[in-house]
Amino acid sequence: MEELVFWVEDTACSGIKKITDKVAGDVELVTGVRPRVLCGVAQEEFLSMAEEVETVIVPATIGKSRMLEQMERKELICLEEIRGKRECYGWFFQKNPKKDGSQILLIAGSDKRGTIYGLFHLSELLGVSPFVDWCGIKPPHRDRAGLCPSMACVTKEPSVRYRGFFINDEWPAFGTWCNRRFGGFGAEVYEHIFELLLRLKGNYLWPAMWSARFGDDGPGLANAMLADEYGIIMGMSHHEPCLRQGEEYKYLRGKDSVYGDAWNFRTNREGILRFWKDGLLRRGKFENVITVGMRGEADTAILGEKATLEENIELLRDVLKTQNGLIRECVNPDLERVPRMLALYKEVEEFYYGNDEVQGLIGSEELEDVILLLCDDNYGNLRTLPTEEMRAHKGGYGMYYHLDYHGWPVSYEWMNSSYLPKIWEQMTTAYEFGVRELWIVNVGDIATQEFPLSYFLDMAYDFERWGSSAVNQTMEYTRQWTARQFGGFPGEIREQIADILQGYTRIIQKRRPEAMHPMVYHPVHGGETQDTLDEIGRILTETEAVYAWVQETAPEYVSPFVALVYYPAFGTLNLTKMHLLAGMNQYLAKLGALCANDYGDAAEQCLRRDRELVKAYHEMDGGRWYGMGLSEHIGFVHWNEDECQNPVICRVLPADKPRLVVTVDHTMQHVEGSPWLSNWMEVRDFLNPSCHSAGITIYGMSMCGAAYEITEKPEWLSVSAMRGMVDGSTHNRERLELTVDRKKAAQCREKETDTVVQGVLQIKTPAGSCRIRVLVCVGLPVDTAGIFVDTAGYIAIEAEHYAKKEAGWLMQKKGKRKRETVQFCCIRDYGKTKSAMKVFPATAYCVPGKNAPYLEYHFSVRQRGRYTLTLYMQPSNPVANDQKLCYGVQNNDGKIIIYNAIPEGYRIGDQGEFWAEGVLSQIRRQELAISCDQGINRLRIYAMTPGFVLEKLSIYQEGTDIPESYLGPKETYRT
């Protein structure tokens, strides 16, 4: 008996027939047997043929299926749960009336896309990856499909109405790939893109636009017709109105053109109107979300710098009125039935809100039922969001988010550098603020963005599962995503892949590859460079091990594993490693340490590896991805690739006599030992009572052997080697590990109350000797648990290590208390070091001292006085148009002081230097003055406005210097 047959009614649309054929191909990939797909066969004839089939699958759409109507009339199925809803489907199993033991599976869609998603649900259950076509992932083999009534289901409406991605910044990568593999941007390539979008349960697309013309490249309307066939809702980018692309005007304009020769609504009004009208007449018959509004050519401001805000607003108002009239005339006289979108991108946001003197477009009748597309700042941080009053806007709101960006301060287009916890934190905020009508994400070239793209679209489709309630579930998502792509791999291999995905994105989100250069991370302070190199080394080793396993055990998965995991993970980490090594090379070269050359050689090897990776990626699988690795990614000097520089490597020439330099690890202290210069250094590591070992590293400066010897040390200090020799070749450095016996050290106190003991370690060198003062904490001024104690000259606290957390509550407009609580929650593995604390619900506004939640930290200092409190926060933007991101600080029982994390004159974008530093370094620091008492102090941080995300705090006496570092000071001692 045949296991599966698909029967497609003759009333079904052609897109359903095409998707059915694709799903039949999926079944063949899984079972090795391709089920028949019957089209144009009458129902009675079909039922007779189906007697020899175990399961007959009938994809059907309400309103387009006689079988659904018949079964509903006979009360065999109930479709009320999906009737009239968006993109829902139900799986209904029925016994075959012609044959006992066989069954009919009705995949009933509320509309065309609902039926398509219902068909692809079968592929998902069979273990077929959404990237089966895009990346060529073969699903694990199963002998049978094994469909049974327990699989019956009815889905809910997708959380966001329009969900999709934007192919952008497509040169040199995507464009080269398209031309080489498909001969251009026509229907042949969009066939694959549409399939990918639907398999990811998306429905909306902005096509490539740098040099492409979606409406012409099909050839002709073939792209648009194919999109309509598959149920893809097309849009145009934020600056391409009325279904016309910028490239179209570029090709059609001219001195004698009917469209004129100026993209200017004032001087060439008739030409622009004709251009828009023709676009609407040509493509308005398909399903679209029509972009309205107008920007300047090449995505620039519409009017010059000298134009006033009022002039810009009036021009845009005129444009919107005119476009609405054209849409009524050319598409549908009932504007409410035509989805339209205005992108509040860059300066358009200002035109929408206006200012104290000029009324903006907010509340305009021209925008009454238009989707207002809000935006992030191009670096993954949301800009303004709708207030509670604004959420009543009839057209609803959308969000334009970026996984790729071409622009200032530094472009990032080469490889995925987005981190799921950040996407979760930002997009849950958007949804909670009512941004639920449209989500579009810029994926650049698509390739290597598959992982975050999946997450973005899964959140948009099922926010209930992956949204606000899924706190700290991104690693679980990563595991599930890995299982969907590599379901046939053993569990331990899948766990390693999930660790690689989480690990590499965790590192590179701290600094995107294009924004890296050798001195971003400090070469020695806090050990941050070495710690990062160690973590990179661990992930690279794991990546190579899994790659070797795939090559040997599952060679058919090599291509998709490289595309989805190996190339983005190894490529980005190798680049970060190169810059870290170059930084060490430059630092050690200044000391004259010959091992600087080793770091330089290793950095050069990384550069060679980078080129090898791109070459191998392009040649893999018959050139499947040729072109996708071409984006520049090393050493950006400007926002674009102009004057990009590979790291500068220093070469140290050896001294002509025995020389060495002694350094204290994690500091910039260094001494050769000459009596003519200061030869004193300090080891302060043991001031932290939890520190058990510290290090001194001795570097060779010549090819001659340079001897050292410990000639003096305290009895409570142990050194791993009392003497030795370094040179410039075989043994050009040696690390001496220091350990202390705190009980013995405590016996050396001059006073019983002393909390610090010091001793001298003397090292004889060829130039003389160096003397190192070793400081050891042998007692604390406090004995209360959970107190951060200033033993090292400053205190650093990870935000999640609070002593107390107090919830607040929401207040109604009249000041009455609501039942819903407001509280800080920890977002694990978020930010630059450990985690972050954020208030939920994300929409909450609170008043410190009344209804605001707070975090309380306990710390002890040695002296009363003025201290500097530094808060390390996410570089969030204000959610309202008031430029406020406020929080409250209270030290001990003092007054609560309100601070704004946003400086006066804050600018996002081309002129926002403060903003630029925040998004490049992925942190915003604010220094505040506080007064501390001697002994234990209590510090409270109150949440006030949405967007406040706290990662770390540091506290130090005014005038104290904390060693400079990129990641900030490491957390200090807590009792």
874: DSSP letter:
-
Quote the CA–CA distance of 821 and 888 in Å, as a whole number: 18
State residue 591's pLDDT score: 97
Quote the CA–CA distance of 341 and 363 in Å, as a whole number: 15
Report CA dihedral (571, 576, 577, 582) to the nearest 10 degrees: 130
In DSSP terms, which residues pair with 235 in a beta bridge? 289
Read off the pLDDT of each residue in 808-817 and give the average, rounded to a whole number: 72
State residue 961's pLDDT score: 86
Whether the per-residue pLDDT at 818 is higher than 80: the answer is: no
State residue 518's pLDDT score: 97
pLDDT (tens digit per residue) in 368-418: 999 999 999 999 999 999 999 999 999 999 999 999 999 999 999 999 999
Quote the CA–CA distance of 559 and 550 in Å, as a whole number: 10
Read off the pLDDT of each residue in 658-674 and give the average, rounded to a whole number: 97
Quote the CA–CA distance of 112 and 286 in Å, as a whole number: 14
Is 209 in contact with 91 (CB distance < 8 Å)?
no
Residue with tokens 């009036």: 314
- Cα→Cα distances 472→321, 432, 502, 538, 835, Å: 46, 17, 13, 23, 11
Q: Please name the residue ranges forming H helices in 109-166.
A: 112-125
Quote the CA–CA distance of 672 and 693 in Å, as a whole number: 23
Whether the per-residue pLDDT at 534 is higher than 60: the answer is: yes
Whether the per-residue pLDDT at 98 is higher than 80: the answer is: no
Quote the CA–CA distance of 292 and 343 in Å, as a whole number: 8
User: Which tokens sit at 729?
Assistant: 């070749």
Report the relative pairing of strands 756-765 and 706-712 from DSSP bridges: antiparallel
598 C-beta neighbours (distance < 10 Å), count? 16
Read off the pLDDT of each residue in 663-669 and give the average, rounded to a whole number: 97
Read off the pLDDT of each residue in 807-819 and give the average, rounded to a whole number: 73
100 C-beta neighbours (distance < 10 Å), count? 8
Read off the pLDDT of each residue in 938-956 and give the average, rounded to a whole number: 98
Quote the CA–CA distance of 790 and 420 in Å, as a whole number: 35
Cis check: omega of the bond before 219, within 30 degrees of 0: yes
- pLDDT category of residue 421 using cuts at 50, 70 and 90: very high
Is 517 in contact with 567 (CB distance < 8 Å)?
no
Read off the pLDDT of each residue in 260-278 and give the average, rounded to a whole number: 95
Read off the pLDDT of each residue in 572-579 and give the average, rounded to a whole number: 98
- pLDDT category of residue 319 using cuts at 50, 70 and 90: very high
Which of 18-27, 581-590, 644-653, 774-783 has the weakest average pLDDT? Answer: 774-783
913 C-beta neighbours (distance < 10 Å), count? 9
Residue 270, exposed/middle/buried by CB under 10 A (0-12, 13-18, 19+)?
A: exposed
Residue with tokens 């046939």: 488
640: DSSP letter:
S
- pLDDT category of residue 1 using cuts at 50, 70 and 90: low
Report the relative pairing of strands 817-828 and 835-840 from DSSP bridges: antiparallel
Is 213 in contact with 219 (CB distance < 8 Å)?
no
Quote the CA–CA distance of 237 and 246 in Å, as a whole number: 10
What DSSP letter does each residue of 813-856 carry, written as one string? TTSPEEEEEEEEEEEET-SSSSEEEEEESTT----TTTT--EEE
- pLDDT category of residue 814 using cuts at 50, 70 and 90: low
Mean pLDDT of the chain: 95
Whether the per-residue pLDDT at 50 is higher than 70: the answer is: no
Nearest CA to 122 out of 37, 9, 13 is that of 37
- pLDDT category of residue 45 using cuts at 50, 70 and 90: confident
E strands in 364-437: 371-375, 397-402
- pLDDT category of residue 96 using cuts at 50, 70 and 90: confident
- pLDDT category of residue 422 using cuts at 50, 70 and 90: very high
- pLDDT category of residue 753 using cuts at 50, 70 and 90: confident
3-state helix, strand, coil in the chain (%, to 5): 35, 25, 45
pLDDT (tens digit per residue) in 873-931: 999 999 998 899 999 999 999 999 999 999 998 989 877 899 999 999 999 999 999 99
- pLDDT category of residue 52 using cuts at 50, 70 and 90: confident
Whether the per-residue pLDDT at 304 is higher than 90: the answer is: no
- pLDDT category of residue 549 using cuts at 50, 70 and 90: very high
| SS3 (DSSP) at 142 | coil
Amino acid (1-letter code) at residue 800: E
User: Which tokens sit at 44?
Assistant: 């009675």
Phi and psi (nearest 5°) for 343?
A: -85, 120
Residues 6+ apart with CB under 8 A from 155: 82, 88, 89, 90, 114, 117, 118
State residue 732's pLDDT score: 96
Phi and psi (nearest 5°) for 945?
A: -110, 155
Q: By percentage, how much of the chain surpasses pLDDT 70?
A: 98
Is 178 in contact with 217 (CB distance < 8 Å)?
no
Residues 6+ apart with CB under 8 A from 172: 627, 630, 631
Quote the CA–CA distance of 98 and 51 in Å, as a whole number: 6
State residue 347's pLDDT score: 84
Quote the CA–CA distance of 580 and 530 in Å, as a whole number: 8
Whether the per-residue pLDDT at 819 is higher than 80: the answer is: no
pTM: 0.97
- pLDDT category of residue 752 using cuts at 50, 70 and 90: confident
State residue 145's pLDDT score: 94
Nearest CA to 670 out of 768, 758, 591 is that of 591
State residue 815's pLDDT score: 54
State residue 817's pLDDT score: 59
